[in-house]
């Protein structure tokens, strides 16, 4: 196994078992801090997988496969952190492209802040849904196969996408051709140093975290190395989406919640209706405060669930 960043041979194995008991190795380049899934799928096979099969794995509710409406209803409510980080770069002159736009959860939230939005997603059902919901053009092919003009977009974003592509270097190099002078590239990926993997001793979560659709596992170091290698200079932000109660649930049971909404919303405690509003408000405010402090601490320690790279061409 070779590291796609430094091209050195990699022998360290960080897991031999993936989600649902699949026996596959994930290797770690200790030099670059890049996790690498042992996979031999071609780019075409991957495209077919993401257009037809991925939503059997990437679903907000583990009890059933997802659909575009459910994806939108679930995740469109939780774009605040992304928009907060990106807001300095968005205005009424901004032409924005999202690669891997899914059901348009992010595009819907920014469409009124920018001049133009465009999406790309291999999932044809999601692409059709996004186009109607957001009122924009959405393509279902590689960017090179679209009629999109080069050096056109001021901002190109790819949330939870880079870890899925066959060749990250080619992916990034292709996108940069479509950036206007001074444009920004934004990449969000899961953090290999996620607290539930890196800090807590949770054997079942470890198997849950690693799965066959993630070909790469990034840290701040490896994410910067691989994007900087394509000629960018930028900064990495650490963001935590799931709340403190979600982490307590994992720590207590080492199993996932059946529905991600509880973990993504503000933490809510099961309080009796008949108790005083003053009492319930005090306890609710306390757990919300704890959640904010917990997420802030995880960001300070760089063990959040996600990392976001924002940069420009050098």
What's the CA gap between 181 and 201, in Å, rounded?
46
233: Cβ–Cβ under 8 A, 6 or more apart, which residues? 311, 312, 313, 314
In this prediction, residues 186-209 reach a mean pLDDT of 97
Is the pLDDT at 227 greater than 90, yes or no?
yes
Do 52 and 213 contact (CB within 8 A), yes or no?
Answer: no
Residue 62 confidence (pLDDT) = 52
In this prediction, residues 111-127 reach a mean pLDDT of 96
Residue 51 confidence (pLDDT) = 63
Residue 47 confidence (pLDDT) = 67
8 phi, psi to nearest 5 deg: -90, 155
Do 3 and 32 contact (CB within 8 A), yes or no?
Answer: yes
Distance separating the N- and C-terminal Cα atoms of the chain: 31
34 phi, psi to nearest 5 deg: -110, 125
Cα 171-21-74 angle, rounded to 5 deg: 60
Domain 43-189+223-241+305-313 has CATH 3.40.50.620: no
What's the CA gap between 242 and 151, in Å, rounded?
36
Tens digits of per-residue pLDDT, 246-265? 999 999 999 998 889 999 99
Is the pLDDT at 151 greater than 80, yes or no?
yes
Is the pLDDT at 271 greater than 90, yes or no?
yes
Q: Which residues of the chain are in CATH 3.40.50.150 domains?
A: 43-189+223-241+305-313
Whole-number mean pLDDT of the chain? Answer: 93
- Residue 148, helix vs strand vs coil: coil
Is the pLDDT at 56 greater than 60, yes or no?
no
How many residues are present in the chain?
314
Residue 258 confidence (pLDDT) = 83
Is the pLDDT at 82 greater than 80, yes or no?
yes
Q: How confident is the model at residue 60 (pLDDT cuts 50, 70, 90)?
A: low
Tell which residue, 288, 250, 298, has the closest CA to residue 268.
288
In percent, how much of the chain has pLDDT > 70?
94
Residue 285 confidence (pLDDT) = 98
The better pLDDT of the pair 53, 228 is held by: 228
| Strand bridging mode 23-29 / 34-37 | antiparallel
């Amino acid at each position: 196994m070779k590291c796609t960043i430094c091209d050195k041979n990699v022998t360290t194995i960080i897991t031999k078992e993936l989600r649902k008991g699949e026996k596959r190795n994930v290797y770690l380049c200790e030099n670059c801090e890049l996790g690498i899934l042992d996979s031999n799928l071609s780019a075409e096979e991957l495209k077919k997988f993401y257009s037809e099969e991925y939503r059997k794995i990437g679903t907000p509710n583990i009890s059933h496969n997802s659909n575009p409406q459910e994806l939108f209803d679930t995740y469109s409510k939780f774009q605040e952190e992304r928009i907060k980080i990106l807001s300095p770069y968005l205005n009424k002159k901004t032409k924005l492209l999202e690669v891997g736009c899914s059901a348009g959860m992010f595009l819907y939230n920014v469409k009124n802040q920018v001049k133009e939005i465009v999406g790309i997603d291999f999932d044809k059902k999601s692409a059709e849904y996004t186009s109607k919901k957001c009122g924009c053009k959405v393509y279902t092919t590689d960017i090179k196969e679209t009629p999109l003009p080069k050096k056109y977009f001021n901002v190109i974003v790819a949330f939870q996408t880079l870890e899925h592509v066959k060749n990250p270097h080619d992916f990034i190099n292709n996108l940069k051709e479509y950036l206007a002078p001074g444009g920004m590239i934004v990449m969000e990926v899961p953090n290999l140093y996620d607290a539930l993997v890196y800090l807590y001793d949770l054997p079942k979560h470890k198997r849950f975290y690693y799965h066959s659709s993630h070909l790469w596992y990034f840290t701040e170091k490896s994410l910067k190395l691989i994007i900087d290698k394509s000629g960018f200079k930028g900064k990495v932000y650490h963001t935590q989406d799931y709340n403190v109660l979600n982490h307590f649930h994992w720590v207590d049971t080492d199993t996932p919640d059946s529905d991600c909404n509880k973990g993504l919303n503000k933490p809510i405690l099961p309080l009796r209706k008949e108790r005083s509003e003053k009492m319930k408000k005090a306890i609710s405010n306390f757990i919300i405060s704890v959640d904010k402090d917990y997420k802030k601490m995880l960001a300070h320690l760089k063990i959040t669930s996600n990392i976001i790279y924002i940069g420009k061409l050098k």
